[in-house]
Chain A
Amino acid sequence: MVPLYALETRGITKRFGALIANDQIDLTVKPGEVLSLLGENGAGKTTLMNILYGLLRPDEGQILVGGRPVEFRSPRQAIDLGVGMVHQHFMLIPAFSVAENVVLGMRKKTGAVISRTRLRSSIREFSHRYNFDLDPDARVGDLPVGLQQRVEILKSLYRGAQILILDEPTAVLTPQETGDLFRVIRHLQGEGKSVIFISHKLNEVMEISQRVTVLRLGKVQGTVETSATSPAELAKMMIGRDLAAPSSPRTGGYTGPTLSLQGLTVRREGKEACSGISLDVWGGEVLGIAGVDGNGQNELVEAILGTAPVASGRVILDGRDITGKGPARAIDAGLALVPEDRQTRGLIMDFSIAENLILESHRAAPFRRGFFIDEAQVNRFAAGMIQTFDIRSGGGASAPASSLSGGNQQKVVLAREISREPKVLVVMKPTRGLDVGATEYVHRRLLEERAKGKAILLVSSELEEIKGLSDRIAVMHRGAVTGLVWPDVSEEDLGQLMTGAKTMLSALGPRGGGEQ
């Protein structure tokens, strides 16, 4: 007899000190079902998933797999009972090959001595079955994120997962890769497997799942059939109010080019990653950079910051030439940067939230007093930022960044960079991992900064975000700017520009900017 639920939790509660991350959670997953889990940043989604995977032990409550109560002391038991998890921040070993990552910890299956040929062919076969197209010998660190994610999924499937947990899998994917992932999910569903899908994007939730469970402040807010709900209703359940429609009132005018890239060429590993890029970002303007990931956007940003070698061309910030002068000079000149990877570039995970918030300004007033750091000032500042940006930390400003939920980590980086009052703000995927409410807030903040006359360079692979916020859009393809267009550009044109099928350079300066 097939049990009614593949997985069930009853009254799961988990506390971190005074904070109740999960409060009496009842959750059910049916066999062959995709269940979405929705909730604000810090609502307790990842915590709950870690409990289901045996990484955390609940303080109270029960887990049932296939109708039988179980107790997980470590992921080992969860794995043995067919639970697999792809973590929000991947758990892969970059220095290892795909094959090594997949069979790690599977001595029962591989035997004490690992036969490389047998391993290789079995992984090829598995990879083929799900259309993954993975080379077992490739070094995982060399793979793009989309493929790394497949390695993570393969890892779980190889262990015989019947219930697969995907924690914000689409946050790192391009729209096309998301489509591929959805095909994989449907394939798994066809094999009778269950999937728990976490995402902040309501349209994805609507598309892929049969039921949605909403968490709010650690509690289950409700579970609904996807066919009987709407994105607006889900948002309301999640944040407890209606979502304001995004608006971008134009207030200030354009104040002339603040950031000027003049024929910038960057070489990486012998290849030209950026070829002769010339762009002006005006004060009071958001210039969006669209393009498929890996078309030179990272190198361009690194060249502006001064961490990638510039082969030729110049970076002028507010009249100062900062080409190749390094990050300290660039920051002094008025640059702020929100990097793509918050965990390795944006934050020092072992440092406290307060320390992370003053990382670049600790050397100057008001945080420095003589030779020392003025703790009182730092704490006051941190408390203010935590409030303004709604950073939800159980342990306050002195808790380490690593104790924050993914979205709240992102808010720390944003708070630090925006609060420095830079002249130029470079933001890469600023709302990656943020819930709908926080996304709305960040978008509003960026537009406010624009109104204050800041020049904003927005790099994102989400077209909706780019079109909604930008005054002009530059499209990058293979290291070159193939398009410079207005935000009312058609999806079709944008698609062609992104694949390099055509070029279109119409928006050379902001509308009306030339009259300044």
Chain B
Amino acid sequence: MLEPLFSLTSIIALLSSTMRTTAPVLLAAIGGLFSDRSGVLSIGLEGFMLAGAFAGFVGAFYSGNLWIGIAAALIAGMLLAFVYAYFSVSVGSSQAVAGTGLVMLAAGATGFLNRVLFRSSGNFVRVTPFQPVAIPGLSRLPIIGQVLFTQNVLVYLAFALVPLTWFILYRTALGLQIRSVGEHAKAADTVGLNVTLTRYACVLVSGALGGLGGAYLSLAHANTFIEMMTAERGYMAFAIIIFGKYNPWGAMGASLLFGLADALQLKLQVAGVPVPYEFLLMFPYVLTLAAMVMAGKTTAPAALGSAYKKN
């Protein structure tokens, strides 16, 4: 029964599926990376994802247009992120408390609205999801073509963001500004940089990309909204940033590990291995956290988690 798991087609299918299970976490992690590097803990990602998953589905369902769903997800994620930025940057509240509070708010609100809008109608509502787009030429390459170049646009976007983010963070004046604010806000202030504005912008980016990661789940994966469908992927993204040493390439590697385990777990479920499915569901989380512990110490941005108050 396990044998077909390891045929070439089966492995290609697994890797291709890995790209898709990786994308939502990677989107959120890249967003969170901006927030963390600017000194604001990306602990609200789970909430941004949930809000994005729900708003994305609602937008796409009522308009019949997936892109309107995406726009709605971006807005929902950024709205929630704005509230988070207000508390963590302007008020200076504890970021862990404000962030987890918002996650609870998002969980409650999306669950409630979901029931109000859809559950009462009794029928199971769906959207037609994002379809794979084969890249001309490249998609015909053996193996790689299937795995890398026959995916939906959100997967392409997620992976394209990795080098782009690296370039912004390490090669531009903007990136230097973001990192300096996350390392030593007062030093940034003394050279005339606006700490508050920088942090707001970065938190909004994390809201937008977190929302997008959430919309991926409802618009490209499950094709519907299910309560708590993010299944703590936002918290995983938060951990993945640390595991990836606060660097986009590292975040991509860590996300791929999580995605591979997730894809494998799905495959085993479908294949009907005699293991309770709860254990299979746990597997990617346990593996990623174990790998993170083994990877050892990382150096966080020095000002991460601390609010900056001017005199």
- Report which A residues bind B (CB closer than 8 A): 50, 53-56, 74-77, 79, 85, 87, 91-96, 100, 103-107, 110-114, 116, 155, 159
Q: Contact mask B272-311 → A, CB, 8 Å, 1/0?
A: 0000000000000000000000000001011000000001
Q: Which residues on the A side are within 8 Å of B191 (C-beta)?
A: 75, 79, 91, 104-106, 155, 159
Q: How far is the CA of A227 from the CA of B141 in the complex (A)?
A: 83
B124 to chain A, nearest CB (A): 49
Q: Which residue of A lies closest to B175 (CB)?
A: A114
Q: Which of A74, A76, A92, A113 contacts B171 (CB 8 A)?
A: A113
Q: Are A93 and B184 closer than 8 Å at their CB atoms?
A: yes
Q: Mark B189-215, 1 if CB is under 8 A from A, else 0.
A: 111111000000000000000000000
- Give Cα distance in the complex from A95 to B299, angstroms: 10
Interface membership of B172, Cβ < 8 A = yes
CB pair A79–B192 under 8 Å, yes or no, is: yes
- Chain B residue numbers with a CB within 8 Å of A54 are 192
A104 touches B172 (CB 8 A): no
Expressed in whole angstroms, the Cα–Cα distance for A112 and B168 within the complex equals 10
Is B302 within 8 A of A104, CB to CB?
A: no
Residue of B nearest to A107 (CB): B173
> In the bound complex, do residue A110 and residue B187 qualify as a contact, i.e. CB atoms below 8 Å apart?
no
- Partner pick for A100 among B176, B186, B193, B302, CB 8 A cutoff: B176
Considering the chains assembled together, what is the distance between the CA atoms of A144 and B204 in angstroms?
38
| Chain A residue nearest to B311 in the complex (CB) | A56
Give the chain B neighbours of A106 by CB distance below 8 A: 173, 191
A105 touches which one: B183, B188, B299 (CB < 8 A)?
Answer: B188
Query: Hey, which chain A residues are within 8 Å of B188, CB to CB?
Result: 104-105
**CB pairs A–B below 8 angstroms (20 shown):** A55-B189, A55-B311, A75-B190, A75-B192, A76-B192, A79-B191, A87-B190, A95-B301, A96-B179, A100-B180, A104-B187, A104-B188, A105-B177, A106-B191, A107-B174, A111-B173, A112-B173, A114-B172, A114-B173, A159-B191
Q: Which of A74, A92, A116 contacts B187 (CB 8 A)?
A: A92
Say yes or no: B311 contacts A91, CB within 8 Å: no
Give the docked Cα–Cα distance between A113 and B168 (Å). Answer: 8
- Name which residue of chain B comes closest to A57, CB basis: B311
CB pair B173–A91 under 8 Å, yes or no, is no
Shortest Cβ distance from A75 into B: residue: B192
> In the complex, what's the smallest C-beta–C-beta distance from A284 to chain B, in angstroms?
44
Listed residue (A55, A104, A111, A155) with the most chain B CB atoms within 10 angstroms of its CB: A104
Smallest distance from the beta carbon of B146 to chain A beta carbons, Å? 36
Q: Whole-angstrom distance from the CB of B301 to the nearest CB of chain A? A: 8
Cβ–Cβ < 8 Å partners of A105 in chain B: 177, 180, 188, 191-193
A94 near B176: Cβ-Cβ < 8 Å: no
Q: Are A91 and B192 in touch, CB under 8 angstroms?
A: no
Q: Please, which residues of chain B bring their CB within 8 A of the CB of A114?
A: 171-173, 176
Q: Please, how many angstroms separate the alpha-carbon atoms of A103 and B176 in the complex? A: 9
Q: Give 5 A-B pairs besides A112-B173, A114-B171 with Cβ atoms closer than 8 angstroms.
A: A55-B189, A74-B192, A96-B179, A105-B188, A106-B191
Residues of B within 8 A of A112 (CB): 172-174
Question: In this complex, what residue of B is CB-closest to A92?
Answer: B187
Instruction: Report the nearest A residue to B174, measured CB to CB.
Output: A112
| B190 adjacent to A91 (CB under 8 Å) | yes
Q: Which residues of B contact A (CB under 8 A)?
A: 171-174, 176-177, 179-180, 183-184, 186-194, 299, 301-302, 311
Measured between beta carbons, the chain B residues less than 8 angstroms from A76 are 192
Considering the complex, give the chain B residue whose CB is closest to the CB of A16. B311
Q: How far is the CB of B94 from chain A (nearest CB, A)?
A: 14
SS of B interface (majority): helix
The docked-state distance in angstroms from the alpha carbon of A200 to that of B156 is 62
Complex Cα gap A79–B302 (Å): 26
Knowing A94-B302, A95-B183, the reply to whether A110 touches B311 (Cβ < 8 A) is: no
CB of A93 within 8 A of CB of B180, answer yes
Task: Assess the A55–B190 pair: CB atoms within 8 A.
Answer: yes
User: Which of B171, B173, B301 has the most C-beta atoms of chain A within 10 angstroms of its own C-beta?
Assistant: B173
The CA-CA distance from A463 to B301 in the complex, in Å, is 39
CA distance A94 to B192 in the complex (A): 19
CB-CB < 8 A to B174: which residues of A? 107, 112
Q: Which of B171, B183, B311 lies at the interface centre, i.e. has the most chain A CB atoms within 10 A of its CB?
A: B311
CA A55 to CA B187, docked complex, whole Å: 11
Most buried by B among A75, A93, A159: A93
In angstroms, Cα B193 to Cα A100, docked, is 14
Known: A104-B180, A112-B174. A93 touches B192 (CB 8 A): no
Q: A104 touching B183 by the CB < 8 A rule?
A: no
Given contacts A91-B184, A104-B176, contact A75 B189 (CB under 8 A): yes
B172 to A91, Cβ gap below 8 A? Answer: no
Nearest Cβ in chain A — how far from B183, in angstroms? Answer: 5
Closest to A159 in B: B191
- Interface contact A113-B311, CB-CB below 8 Å: no
Closest B residue to A89 by CB, please name it. B186
How far is B174's CA from A488's CA once the two chains are assembled, in angstroms? 58
**For residue A159, which residues in chain B have a CB less than 8 angstroms away from its CB?**
191
Query: Once bound together, how far apart are the Cα atoms of A54 and B310, in whole Å?
Result: 12
What is the bound-complex CA distance between A159 and B191, given in angstroms?
10
A50: B residues at CB distance < 8 A: 311
Q: B302 — nearest CB in chain A belongs to which residue?
A: A95
Residues of B within 8 A of A94 (CB): 183-184, 302
B185 CB to closest chain A CB (Å) equals 10
A-chain residues with CB within 8 Å of residue B173 when the two chains form the complex:
103, 106-107, 110-114
On whether the beta carbons of B187 and A93 are closer than 8 Å, the reply is yes
Residues on B with beta carbons closer than 8 Å to the beta carbon of A55: 189-190, 311
Min CB–CB distance B232 → chain A (angstroms):
31
Residue in B closest to A50 when the chains form the complex, CB atoms? B311
Instruction: Name the distance in Å between A70's Cβ and chain B's nearest Cβ.
Output: 15
On whether the beta carbons of B172 and A113 are closer than 8 Å, the reply is yes
| A81 CB → nearest B CB, Å | 12
Chain B residues, Cβ within 8 Å of A110:
173
Which residues of chain B come closer than 8 Å to A95, judged between CB atoms?
183, 299, 301-302
Distance in angstroms between the alpha carbons of A481 and B171 in the assembled complex: 48
Q: How far is the CB of A103 from chain B (nearest CB, A)?
A: 7
Which chain B residue has the least Cβ–Cβ distance from A76?
B192
Report the Cα distance A75→B194, complex, angstroms. Answer: 10
Instruction: Please name all residues of chain B whose beta carbon is closer than 8 Å to the beta carbon of A74 when the two chains form the complex.
Output: 189, 192, 194
Residue in B closest to A85 when the chains form the complex, CB atoms = B190
3 closest Cβ pairs, A-B complex:
A76-B192, A105-B191, A107-B173
Q: Are B176 and A91 in contact (CB under 8 A)?
A: no
Chain A contacts of B179 at CB under 8 A? 96
Chain A: minimal CB distance from B189 (Å): 7
Q: Which residues of B contact A111 (CB under 8 A)?
A: 173
Find the residue from B184, B190, B301 having the highest chain A CB count within 10 A. B190
Chain B residues, Cβ within 8 Å of A96: 179-180, 183
A110 to B191, CA, bound (A): 14
Most-contacted residue by chain A among B171, B176, B186, B299 (CB, 10 A): B176
